[in-house]
Structure formats: structure tokens, C-alpha cells
Amino acid sequence: MWRSCCFEVLCRARELYRQKQQANATVDQLASLFAQCAIDEARPISSGPPPLLPPLGIVDPAALLDANDASILAQSGRKQIMLDAFADGSSFICLRCGGLVSSSRKDEHVAYWCGNT
């Protein structure tokens, strides 16, 4: 019951944020909290490395942020840049390293740059 209530509130907050009706620090914090909840919920139990996911229009990009905040953008407090780049389809978030990668460079990232292969 509480999960469905929380989910509804978070979805409404996400919609307000996307519509820029209430773009402020509180909404940014709520968006980060939503991302953290989604990551924790989706985290696989297996010991293998997480999959590398391409951008999908139906997937909530907040659910793909790295829970360990391993990327430079996340460490500097600019997770929204990652969300925006993912949302427009130009980039994806690597779940192996937490990096924001251009969709056109996926193969090169996996072969040469991702340190967690």
C-alpha cells in the first residue's frame, strides 16, 4: 500500500519537474531520491556485472543512474545533465561504470573505455 502511494507522489513530482513548473532545489532533491529508490529496487541480486543498457524511450532514465555516483557529473552534483542527455536519446548511462556515453560510441565504450568489463 505505502509503495503505491509513494510511487504516485514520486510520479507526480517527476511530471512537475519535467514540465518545469516547479524547478527548484527541493524538486531536484526529490528527483534524486526517486532515482536512488528506483536504482535500489532494480538492483540485481546476482554477483555478475550489471548489463549495459541502450537508451529506451519507455524506460525511466532516473532508474538507470548509478547508485554509487561513480560518474564525474554525479560526483559534482549534476545528475540532471545525465537525465536530460538520456531522455533525448543522444546518450545512455552505462550501468557497469556509471558513465554517460554517446549512443553512437557504445561499442567503443565497451571495448576500450569502460573499466568495469
Q: What is the pLDDT of residue 29?
A: 65
Residue 52 has, within 13 A of its CA and on its CB side, a CA count of 20
Domain encompassing residue 28: 2-113
Per-residue pLDDT of 27-53, as tens digits, reads 666 666 666 666 666 555 555 555 544
Give the pLDDT band of residue 88 (cuts 50, 70, 90): confident
45, 70 in Cβ contact below 8 A?
A: no
Least confident piece of the model among 14-23, 29-38, 55-64: 55-64
Classified as helix, coil or strand, 17 is: helix
Query: With 70 as the cut, is the pLDDT of residue 15 above it?
Result: yes
Scan for cell 548511462, then name that residue.
93
| Helix segments in 1-117, DSSP class H | 2-18, 25-42, 72-75, 79-87, 106-108
Q: Any bridge partners for residue 92, and if so which?
A: 101
When divided into structural domains, the chain yields a total of: 1
Mean pLDDT of the chain: 66
